Structure 1
Amino acid sequence: MPTSYVRYIDWMSVGLYLVLVVAGVFSVYAASYDFDNASIFDFNEFSGKQVRWIFLALGLALMIMLIDRRMYETYAYPIYLTLLAIMVVTIFVAPDIKGSRSWLVFGPVSFQPAEFGKFATALALAKLFSGYQFRLNDSHTNYLRALAIIFVPIALILAQRETGSALAYLSLFFVLYREGMSGLVLLAAAGAVIIFVVAVKYAGTMFMDMPLGEAAVIIMLGLLLLGMLAVYCHRVKAARNVVLFYLGAAAVAWGLHLLAIDIPGRYFLPPVLAASCVYCLILCLRGDSKPLLVTVGAVMAGVIFLYSVNYAFTSVLQPHHQQRIKVTLGLEEDRLGAGYNVNQSKIAIGSGGLTGKGFLNGTQTKLKYVPEQHT
């Protein structure tokens, strides 16, 4: 390798990478070794296959470093489109492996095009961002182009029923944030996750004759409106008025409750939130309307997302996805079904404690309690 190439290698990153790779090999070996054939370098074992792929990857890395970077700039889009085409083919020709059609099999070799699609998508984004005078915030077209590069492979991977790999692509949104995307988008994404979890987890518990999850989300959206008024819009007086309105509405509801008149939550909480939004819209007439419109839009988007959660959960997600989410949220145990791996993990962590049981001494792996142990 020419000296000029060696000089620009980040040896610290390479060293850390190799340490992680070696640790990964030992972890795979410890989790899946066979008593009858316990060689870590046996190519019939998962650890041996891992070693083989490591050497192939190091050779590939050397080849990539020797290629002039301008080639990647030139062929970024063709590489991306080629991987998309392979992903489309995968949907129709890949064998069904535990409900997923994401692996292409060629004799003893199998691979996931989605994994190669990760670097192709990142390469395409880099090509887009490096364009002459490209600025993400200059136009909506730039946003649409960037989002299309990310979402097209996600859609194809979802068609392969490989949800886990599709979620990994969402990390590319942090690249958009670095290019100037508003932090409100990341806040909205975090809020969507919170709304989904709360709405699903507490859907079966009632509060004021409505699901507790729905009531809790509406209350959180009311607090969000209040916080954005005070911090984002710099309307402290308006925020104080909203607080007084909330307290007044709560006092009226409590007074009616004392008179044995209970207002169903669906006829109380949403109207209170709607009235707060109308108040913000009225304030828009006094100028500086954009922050107020963003605030109302964020709250309304949260309400729409809330009432779409039930449809998405029951009609869009597959039954095994629903089961996994329920187990994760503690709604169901299913220790012999969807919750089996989680339960075995708890047993392994609990029995090993802080220091573990020692290398190759884990009972859950030695006794083959866990399926697909190498993962």
Structure 2
Amino acid sequence: MSGPTTAILVADPLAVLLSAAAIRAAMAIQQGYEDSAILKAQHHEQRNEQLKQQQSAALQGQQALQERIAAADTEFEQLCLIAQRSGNDVRIKAERPVNAGADHGTATAANKALNNNELAAYLQAIQTYNAELKSILLTDAARQMSSTDEHLSAPEFLLANEQAAATNVQRLLQRIAHLGQAPDKIALLAQELASNLPLEREQLLLNELRHQIQLHLEQVQQQQLQEASALILRQSLIDLGYQVEEFSSTLFIEGGVAHFRRHDWGDYMVRLRINEANNTINFNVIRAVQQGNNERSVLDHLAEDRWCTEFPTLLKAMEARGLSMNVTRRLEAGELPVQLVNRDQLPQFTEQEQRRIEQPLLAREIK
């Protein structure tokens, strides 16, 4: 039996970031498939001549589409080679988007045209996945470099557009080039180092530049990790069949509350509260009531028991994606009264439940 529960979040940074990248890629391909389904429905409603025109236009892009997919697949394989260094290549390959439109044999022209939409969906997903993997792997590799080993650089194919670094400053800046514009403090240090300086001053500034770049990499990865954690929490709940209140990707950065429930829970739901200061998450069952209603119910105890039986499944789902929760406080059901909350202050889930039924959830096998 379980009442309010508090847990400390423990993340495997690289695993969490890679899992979040896979979730975003799955979202991209799901959206592409939905667009394809809409197009199919439209085709049935159109006249034959209109359909032929659309089929012809779609078939003209077949070769170019296949070429772009081949290039994206090659980049993915190269990224897997880099991921072998950290032992994450197996995870990356396991969560690779599926190319459902790869081969339809002797399909009709109409089906081939429609299949182009599925190929386009896959292309969007694999490109999304590759872009995130590239950033994650580059950031992690740069963060782990020794502060004095400025001669190490990212794999050549990832920096194809970069000239070989000619100075220590350029080599250091190369570590964060994939993150976009450098922070002002780093840019000013690099600018000062570009001028003629006494050797002692140059070495001092070089050490400070290394330090600031290391801090920047750690800050970027920490922010990405917190945003990824929010995505994993929400997607894990959705995958398990819960209705989940919309919440920001900054939930683990700024803290806050969110609610989730099953469609048959009636007035009950679970409130989760993130305390960003100590990296904890608290779950407690609440009941929606009309303002001024403080009446207790014999069902409160049953609602807490029900959530208690489901909580371990959530733990396993999140752990599979690299995000663990170490429970530090767990009260018995009924030890504290179920919190009664004014109904007007809580989210309404009716429309969200309808959308969940209409749009299949992303499936993930939990071992």
Task: Give the alignment's TM-score, normalised by structure 2.
Answer: 0.22
Greater RCO, 1 or 2 (C-alpha within 8 Å, sep 6+): 2
Hey, which of these two has a bigger chunk of strand by percent?
2
CA radius of gyration, larger in = 1
